[in-house]
Amino acid sequence: MKKFAYLLLAIFYSMASFSQNGAISDKMMEKIRQGYSATSARKAARNALSKNSIAVLAVNAENAAMMDTHFTYEVPTKGRTDQQSSGRCWLFTGLNVLRAEMISKYNLGEFQFSQNFCSFYDLLEKSNLFLQAIIDTRDKDYDDRTVDWLLQNPIGDGGTFCGVANIVMKYGIVPASVFPETYQSENTSQMRNILSQKLRQYSLELREIKSGKLAERKLEMLSEIYGILVACLGEPPADFEWTMYDSGGKMVSRKRYTPKSFYNEYIGRDLENSYILVMNDPVRDYGKVYEIEYDRHTYEGNNWKYVNLPTDRIKEMAVASIKDSTALYFSCDVNKFIDRTKGSLDLANMDYESLFDTEFPMDKRQRVLTHASGSSHAMTLIAVDLDDSGSPRKWMVENSWGASSGYKGNLIMTDEWFDEYMFRLVVDRKYVPEDIIRMMDQTPISLPAWDPMFLPEE
């Protein structure tokens, strides 16, 4: 009996020494150290890591060859854009989709729409969206989840395609030559900080003043924001003259426009109703429509609304669009397995497992569920390479990191990478099958603004 009692005491003290309160005890630390084996391979990795970046050392030398650059179908484009040090990939991507259409339709040379013009009104509209949201929630406590989220995220220059649709349809568009970039438009962090500080300051006042003065005071606040934006970005033109030249440099026309008349003449489509937004989110049910609260760029605009689909259905539409020379808005988790020198997105680019002698077995659903992956960057999908059976082998996107980045300003991705790290695609309705069109008639399932899958693309 005494032996049994001693055994129980020994077990008790052994357990207590390991996890008395969830902390690492001395006994646990001893076992942790014993669990590490200092092999020669681990020592070599440690020596290398002390002087080099993980990204460099994890490169898989067996996959060093340049990826094949042949594509079965490719949307013709000219020139590459550069968002510089800004979070405007969503805007560059949306405008690049329209740019490819305009270049093709009018046989232009290199041409860009003014990202700065749209940025100006985007930041003004986001300011109004924030201020009005503060007014709408002024009866809630500061620790309310929505109020807290608003104050954490007063403004940013990231976004989604619905922002392109909202801003362009409301304010129009101009050529880049009419309203060029500034230092602040290309280096936005300090401007964002100033705007955030002002908006948070305004929020305190709007939550306290009398209801009858809210509209007038908000207007005064927006006038101050407008002044800051003019100082940083310039004042957008109300009208302008533009000369069109064809790809051979011959003048085609010269005419005065307003931003809206320019858009109506050269693009003219209803961006808010011409496209279907699709997503591959393996955490949620496929075939359902979801809507994200406050995920819009104007107060009266459309929240991000998407139908969740398996990747094979999304690929069908992407192939159909590219075959018809129509580029698509595409977003993904771009920094996973990227080789910036080659310009490739390939699961075989990096070998983290060998470098650290461990495994990373999570699938896409598990990565999303644990915040290990999500959409972070938007680009323009312009090419697909098909095998003999018509299935995709690889894809190419036009990026907005300049012509010298990646492969001629593009990134080439394997189809396997597409499956794992593609999240969003915006498709012209004419390439969307009828059964998916009908899915959009559902009443959307509402998701909160802080859902991790819907951080703005930057």
**What amino acid positions are annotated as catalytic residues?**
89, 377, 399
Q: Taking each helix axis from N to C terminus, what angle separates 26-35 and 2-19, rounded to the nearest 10 degrees?
A: 80
Q: Report whether 119 contacts 233 (CB < 8 A).
A: yes
For residue 424, give the nearest of 383, 378, 392, 458 by alpha carbon: 378
The Cβ-side half-sphere exposure at 256, using a 13 Å CA radius, reads 4
Residue 134 vs residues 3, 218, 443: alpha-carbon distances, Å: 69, 11, 27
Q: Report whether 291 contacts 188 (CB < 8 A).
A: no
26-53 burial: b if 16+ Cβ within 10 Å, else e: ebeeeeeeeeeeeeeeeeebeeeeeeee
Q: Report whether 103 contacts 156 (CB < 8 A).
A: no
Measure the CA–CA gap between 159 and 168, rounded to whole angstroms. Answer: 14
217-226 burial: b if 16+ Cβ within 10 Å, else e: bbeebbeebe
336-367 burial: b if 16+ Cβ within 10 Å, else e: bbbbeebbbbbbebbeeeebeeeeeeeebeeb
Residues 260, 263, 268, 269: is their CA dihedral positive or negative?
negative
Q: Report whether 378 contacts 454 (CB < 8 A).
A: no
